[in-house]
């Protein structure tokens, strides 16, 4: 399990799962299960992986089953951050068949999506570590309402989190610069407005902009869509005076050369907005 991973507070997660269950249950509940399955029927089942990957969202999946039926017996076999292979059991379930079948889809939707994010992150982290010191970080490009879960999944994959929201820090991006009239006016305005505890990062896409930003003094620079060669020059120009973050066109093919430039951070949007799911399935135990 990654060292920066701790469980999300249930108080934060439960409302998200409750809303997902209410969406699925609709106005009349699970009419199929109630029609086909006797109220007294019992079921022993497992959730198992059908692919190699990294697990995340299992605590949230457990909450989905518990909200439907607190009497279910649930045993977590693979916690968030664990690596799995096809056939590995992640969660064992025993109890009311109706309850398990009703909660199944919401639990799997969450666990599959979060595990997909963790798996995608872990792949990039492994490559980056082979080429440099850079940490893989996520962005605010998350599913509305699921940001906390998705950022947790990034940590489960060995990545780190960028801002959780607009209130975390000042990040001056290209459109801020355009409206403010340039890099220097934007930085000076931010410094005049922000308190002494608020960090300031500025996005630049040329070395000239970077030089201007460093002359003003900032905490971090976002080096946007630069080639690895440009990133190497940018890291040399910064010379340790600020954190360096590369973004844009990051993939499994490009992350190695980007990390080799010496940047501190590599931010990746697609790990939360476009990562494929990890295929997990619920089946009868022993099937």
Spot the catalytic one: 73, 173, 241, 249.
Answer: 173
Q: Phi and psi at residue 90, in whole multiples of 5°?
A: -100, -40
Residue 14 falls in the annotated catalytic set: no
Answer yes or no: are the C-beta atoms of 153 and 117 closer than 8 Å.
yes
Residue 173 falls in the annotated catalytic set: yes
Spot the catalytic one: 104, 201, 224, 264.
Answer: 224
Spot the catalytic one: 30, 150, 203, 264.
Answer: 203
As a 3-state breakdown, the chain gives helix, strand, coil percent values, each rounded to 5, of 45, 20, 35
Residue 147 falls in the annotated catalytic set: no
- How, if at all, do strands 220-224 and 243-247 pair? parallel
Residue 150 falls in the annotated catalytic set: no
Spot the catalytic one: 105, 129, 140, 191.
Answer: 105
In the chain, where do the E strands start and end? 42-49, 53-54, 73-76, 83-84, 89-96, 135-137, 170-172, 200-204, 220-224, 243-247, 265-267, 280-284
Nearest to 117, CA basis, from 56, 28, 201 = 56
Q: Which helix (H) or strand (E) holds 12?
A: helix 10-25
Spot the catalytic one: 141, 163, 191, 199.
Answer: 141
Q: Phi and psi at residue 164, in whole multiples of 5°?
A: -85, -25
Residue 224 falls in the annotated catalytic set: yes
Which residues are annotated as catalytic? 105, 141, 173, 203, 224
């Amino acid at each position: 399990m990654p060292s920066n991973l701790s469980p999300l507070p249930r108080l934060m997660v439960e409302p998200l799962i409750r809303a997902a269950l209410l969406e699925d249950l609709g106005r009349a509940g699970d009419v199929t299960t109630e029609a086909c399955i006797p109220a007294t029927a019992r079921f022993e089942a497992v959730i198992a992986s059908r692919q190699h990957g990294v697990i995340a969202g299992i605590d949230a999946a457990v909450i989905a089953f518990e909200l439907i039926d607190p009497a279910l017996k649930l045993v977590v076999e693979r916690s968030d951050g664990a690596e799995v292979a096809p056939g590995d059991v992640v969660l064992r379930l025993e109890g009311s068949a109706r309850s398990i079948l009703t909660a199944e889809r919401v639990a799997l939707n969450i666990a599959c999506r979060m595990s997909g994010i963790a798996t995608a992150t872990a792949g990039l982290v492994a490559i980056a570590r082979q080429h440099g010191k850079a940490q893989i970080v996520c962005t605010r490009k998350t599913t509305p309402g699921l940001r906390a879960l998705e950022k947790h999944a990034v940590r489960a994959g060995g990545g780190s989190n960028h801002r959780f929201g607009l209130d975390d820090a000042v990040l001056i991006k290209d459109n801020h610069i355009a409206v403010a009239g340039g890099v220097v006016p934007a930085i000076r305005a931010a410094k005049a407005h922000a308190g002494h505890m608020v960090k300031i990062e500025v996005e630049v896409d040329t070395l000239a902009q970077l030089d201007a930003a460093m002359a003003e003094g900032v905490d971090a620079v976002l080096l946007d869509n630069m080639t690895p060669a440009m990133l190497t020059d940018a890291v040399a120009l910064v010379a340790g005076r600020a954190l360096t973050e590369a973004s844009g066109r990051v993939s499994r093919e490009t992350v190695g050369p980007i990390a080799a430039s010496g940047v501190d951070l590599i931010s990746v949007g697609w790990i939360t907005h476009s990562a494929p799911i990890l295929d997990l399935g619920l089946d009868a135990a022993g099937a």
